[in-house]
Amino acid sequence: MLKEKRISVTGGKGFLGTHLIKKLEERGCRQIKIIDLPEYNLTDIIDIRRMYEETKPQFVIHLAAKVGGIGFNQEKPAELFYDNLIMGAQLLHEGYLRKIEKFVALGTICAYPKFTPVPFKEEDIWNGYPEETNAPYGLAKKMMLVQSQAYRRQYGFNSIFLLPVNLYGPGDNFNPSSSHVIPALIKKCFDAIDNHADKIEVWGTGLATREFFYVEDAAEAICLATESYNKSEPVNIGAGFEISIKELTELIVRITGFQGKIVWDKSKPDGQPRRMLDTSKAAKEFQFKAKTDLLIGLKKTIEWYKNNRHKL
């Protein structure tokens, strides 16, 4: 079905976008349009309308987001709220007006309440306020779920909402001002090795847990959902395990070969105490199961960074 469709992928030049486009091409899709800066500013309604007129999509897969780690969320909460809210709301609405066949919205695990029971189940998504440091981002993205369900109920518009957990993999964002935990730790280790430093500093206590989802697996999950899931109830996509930040840091230190000490800056926040998804609904609804073991995924990511870091 997909290979006959005109598909516009917002954020198609980004980390997840580049991997998703490869997966779509492997499926025989040849009518894919990449919607990204600088050609299209998706916070601007004029650019959104121009995008729809120029690319005439039948399917829109909305990956574009303003996003970053805990520090970035603390520095720019207003931008993260407004930019993500306005992109999602206007893209979905304009898609409805043009009667596109399907809108695929990518949410975030940050949409879940701070103290969601582990593993996170989709029905728990409204049972509390998100963790404070990333609540503006999480709530802005969650509004696409409200919109998706409302537009299906009133207009019969086909849109779906996927909830990915923290992504990582080759091509990740290694910019220290906005990167997430895995690329940030990898960069710290290599910088320390280069500078002959005897320690690296890591935010928090190391006790918080996270689940990490290899980017190629995430791209496959999105393809499967785009092909065969047609309901507005949210669906978690992830790997279905958790690891503490302390264990993760020790693993990355070992793989990179950094020999020094890990110093924990306990004055900095841990973020959400625990994160791990229940991924059984994705398995049931569109037969998705993650394939990449964390150790293998980390080795591939570290190898990619080692080979490309001087170009970044």
How far are the Cα atoms of 135, 145, 163, 180 from residue 76, in angstroms, in the given order? 12, 23, 22, 15
Q: Is 137 marked active-site?
A: yes
Contact 297, 285 (CB under 8 A): no
Dist CA 193 CA 199 (whole Å): 10
Write b or e for each residue in 143-178: b if 16 or more Cβ atoms lie within 10 A of its Cβ, otherwise e.
bbbebbbebbeeeebbbbbbbbbbbbbbbbbbeeeb
Dist CA 231 CA 180 (whole Å): 30
Which residues lie below 8 Å from residue 276, measured CB to CB, with a gap of 6+? 118, 119, 120, 165, 209, 211, 238, 240, 241, 242
Q: Check 40, 52, 112, 137 and give the catalytic one.
A: 137
User: What is the longest distance spanned by two Cα atoms in the chain?
Assistant: 62
- Specify the DSSP element, H or E, that contains 165: none
Catalytic residues: 137
